[in-house]
Amino acid sequence: MATTQRKPADVSEKQARQVAEAARESEWRKPSFGKELFLGRFRLDLIDPWPAAEPSADADDYLAKLEAYVRSQVDGPRIEREASIPDEVFHGLARLGAFGMKIDKEYGGLGLSNLHYCKALTLIGSVNSSLGALLSAHQSIGVPQPLKIFGTPAQKKAFLPRLAAGEVSAFLLTEPDVGSDPARLGTMAEPVEGGYRLNGVKLWATNGTMATLLVVMARVPGKGITAFVVEGDAPGITVERRNEFLGLRALENSVTRFHDVFVPAENVIGGLGKGLKIALTTLNTGRLSLPAMCVGAGKWSLNVAREWSAERVQWGRPVGQHEAVAKKLAFIAATTYAMESMLDLCCLIADDDSNDIRIEAALIKLFASEMAWQVADELVQIRGGRGYEKAESLAARGERPVEVEQVLRDLRINRIFEGSTEIMHLLIAREAVDAHLSVAGDIIDPEAGLGRKARAGAQAGAFYARWLPTLAVGRGQVPTGYSEFGPLATHLRYVERASRKLARSTFYAMSRWQGKLERKQGFLGRIVDIGAELFAMSAVCVRARAERRDRPEGMELADLFCQQARLRTAALFGALWENTDSLDAKAAQRVLDGRYAFLEEGIVTAPADGAWVAAWQPGPTTVDDVRRRIPPAT
Ligand SMILES: Cc1cc2nc3c(=O)[nH]c(=O)nc-3n(C[C@H](O)[C@H](O)[C@H](O)COP(=O)(O)OP(=O)(O)OC[C@H]3O[C@@H](n4cnc5c(N)ncnc54)[C@H](O)[C@@H]3O)c2cc1C
């Protein structure tokens, strides 16, 4: 049977946006701290008092067991050296139930809360990042999470116990021609008797070389992108390659071909055409895993930075006492405290189900992936030449084998996958301007007729008449505002004022650029980054106050972080209106046109032959299957 990998080249920008828009969850059933923040309404009451964690002796016990196991049985350097997680580690983790941490107890899982799950990932990822990526891809985007939210009882019964027992799952969306833009998806699922026939090629599937259950995104003709649970061993599936990367050397990441693969109709998740919505909803809490690993990296970096900077003496002082290094130590400590506070807060409000956390989870993914990278970069600098040296090389010279360069390499991908920083900016900005679009969208829509524009004009007039005055004054201007926070009150007053300023700036940009605002990515990125800093400041203040009796030093860290964050926020506000965005866009066009090609002379450039994106041909495979099979434990 001939295969039909759809030719994806002719998707316009407008169609791509429409696909993304259709996948958006448009309803807000629960309050959202982040949404209100972008509207200039600082709803501290939504996150303060700090939510209490549901006490769970089982979960605490589990974390202790997991820690004992990874400390004694998992050899992180060996995983890095061999670029592979040993079979016995898979068995050990499976015995501990690590593949079922997020699966409900009734299906054989541990049913951990988001908080405990993320603590487990932080711990495991600190031993080796590839281990964290394995477990996170398996349960945050792999089969367990979409089935938990959208699966039928029969699907849950059929698949979840297998996964809880240690089978590994993967999530396959990306294709050679489909990265950030799913509208180009080419994998097809054609209806046949009793189910669907899948054809296509999927790229970069984490766990894809060894997963026995897959979530596959494929296009059903006339219905749209649909999510399927697919048996990894189904006839017609070939794992064609295991990919290698800058970091995460032990990642089991595949190119997987589907050739006439039969999938039963009952394996559709959540209905035909619902695939992208499922992917996005899954990521609401799924996005918390990656920051959990960033928190681990922050803690690890702080530990190395502290011990090294106190011991290493140059120019008559420990390097940590030279101001240039001291500033880096302060940045690492404050940023780690902020990342952990944001993560714990997101987990807690997800666990008590009180708030919508989609914006907060997206903000922490963005913030933690960017900041952890800076933390690791500063750590390399603090370690000097040793920061650039491999752990094995250090050990061979008789020094402590600290894998700083590896942490830097491993962290880099976090700014690219599960929504690149650029895409996160757009996704969050879309939510930040949602209130405006819902009342004034038709005014700026070139395709709306006069009638729709007039109706929108009246609606918008009423909305802005009510809303704009609320942006003029607030508690942040009252000298005693938030005084219950003691020395941190000044920062919360700042956040309240900054939130209104953020909303005013967004409103001004809407009126100035109207429909063209969506193309002002520099502006939108800064709006979102300000929102992330304000959320981070709120999280540290609320946490520090809640813990001030047991951990008074948290107040110092919260103050330190807020002072640093306020400087970054001020710079972002300034750059909203004073920047080189238009200049850069024009210059970039000239770069693209080759005007500055003379600058590329005088070096040996990268090979000019070979496709940038390989043209994968549909049809049966022409290479050997490189699937990894984990033998049963003996
Ligand atoms: C190690 C690794 C593991 C992965 N694991 C998985 C997995 O398990 N499952 C899976 O399905 N995928 C996986 N991926 C794919 C990953 O999600 C994609 O790499 C990511 O979505 C970005 O797509 P892309 O690489 O094709 O970049 P492109 O989409 O080609 O983007 C290139 C650049 O352009 C920017 N860009 C793109 N569109 C816009 C826009 N509209 N506005 C502004 N900037 C834009 C991007 O941010 C990026 O900087 C993995 C990738 C890697 C490297």
Exposed e or buried b for every residue in 265-301, given b needs 16+ CB within 10 A?
A: eebbbbebbbbbbbbbbbbbbbbbbbbbbbbbbbbbb
Average pLDDT of the chain is 93
Range with the lowest mean pLDDT among 2-6, 354-358, 523-527, 612-616? 2-6
- pLDDT tens sequence across 330-340: 999 999 999 99
Residue 3 confidence (pLDDT): 37
Average pLDDT over residues 180-185: 88
Q: Would you say residue 5 has pLDDT above 50?
A: no
State if residue 417 touches ligand 1 by the CB under 6 angstroms criterion: yes
Strand pairing class (213-220; 169-172) = parallel
CB atoms within 10 A of CB 585: 13
Q: Would you say residue 178 has pLDDT above 70?
A: yes
State if residue 420 touches ligand 1 by the CB under 6 angstroms criterion: yes
CA of 415 to the centre of ligand 1 (A): 9
CB neighbours of 98 closer than 8 A, spacing ≥ 6? 66, 120, 124, 135
CA of 179 to the centre of ligand 1 (A): 4
Residue 564 confidence (pLDDT): 98
State if residue 336 touches ligand 1 by the CB under 6 angstroms criterion: no
d(CA 463, CA 580): 33
Q: Would you say residue 168 has pLDDT above 60?
A: yes
Strand partners, 218: 226
CA of 520 to the centre of ligand 1 (A): 21
Average pLDDT over residues 231-253: 98
Cα angle 96, 100, 101; round to 5: 80
Q: Would you say residue 225 has pLDDT above 70?
A: yes
State if residue 199 touches ligand 1 by the CB under 6 angstroms criterion: no
Q: Best of 202, 417, 423 to mutate for ligand 1, by most ligand atoms within 8 A of CB?
A: 417
Q: Which is higher by pLDDT, 614 or 24?
A: 614
Percent of the chain clearing pLDDT 70 (strictly above)? 97
CB contact at 8 A, 529 and 572: yes
Residue 353 confidence (pLDDT): 87
Nearest to 264 by CA among 168, 160, 193, 330: 193
Average pLDDT over residues 605-619: 89
State if residue 82 touches ligand 1 by the CB under 6 angstroms criterion: no
Q: Would you say residue 463 has pLDDT above 90?
A: no
Q: Using 50, 70 and 90 to split pLDDT, how confident is the model at 472?
A: confident
- pLDDT tens sequence across 340-355: 999 999 999 999 988 9
Average pLDDT over residues 82-94: 97
Average pLDDT over residues 261-288: 92
CA of 8 to the centre of ligand 1 (A): 16
DSSP state of 469: G
Residue 104 confidence (pLDDT): 96
Atom 52 in ligand 1: which residue has the minimum CA distance? 204
Q: Which is higher by pLDDT, 482 or 435?
A: 482
Give the relative orientation of helices 404-412 and 129-136 as an angle to the nearest 10 degrees: 30
Rg (CA), the chain: 25
Known catalytic membership, residue 193: no
Atom 23 in ligand 1: which residue has the minimum CA distance? 179
Percent of the chain clearing pLDDT 90 (strictly above)? 79
Average pLDDT over residues 403-414: 98
Residue 492 confidence (pLDDT): 98
d(CA 46, CA 19): 32
State if residue 302 touches ligand 1 by the CB under 6 angstroms criterion: no
Average pLDDT over residues 301-316: 98
Q: Would you say residue 448 has pLDDT above 80?
A: no
State if residue 173 touches ligand 1 by the CB under 6 angstroms criterion: yes
CA of 420 to the centre of ligand 1 (A): 6
CB neighbours of 284 closer than 8 A, spacing ≥ 6? 350, 357, 358, 361
Q: Would you say residue 6 has pLDDT above 70?
A: no
CA of 16 to the centre of ligand 1 (A): 15
Of 167, 240, 360, 418, catalytic: 418
Q: What is the DSSP string of 521-541?
A: HHHHHHHHHHHHHHHHHHHHH
d(CA 599, CA 370): 30
Q: Using 50, 70 and 90 to split pLDDT, how confident is the model at 443?
A: low
- pLDDT tens sequence across 96-141: 999 999 999 999 999 999 999 999 999 999 999 999 999 999 998 9
State if residue 130 touches ligand 1 by the CB under 6 angstroms criterion: no
Q: Using 50, 70 and 90 to split pLDDT, how confident is the model at 1?
A: very low
Residue 144 confidence (pLDDT): 94
Atom number, ligand 1, closest to the C-alpha of residue 208:
8
Q: Would you say residue 276 has pLDDT above 50?
A: yes
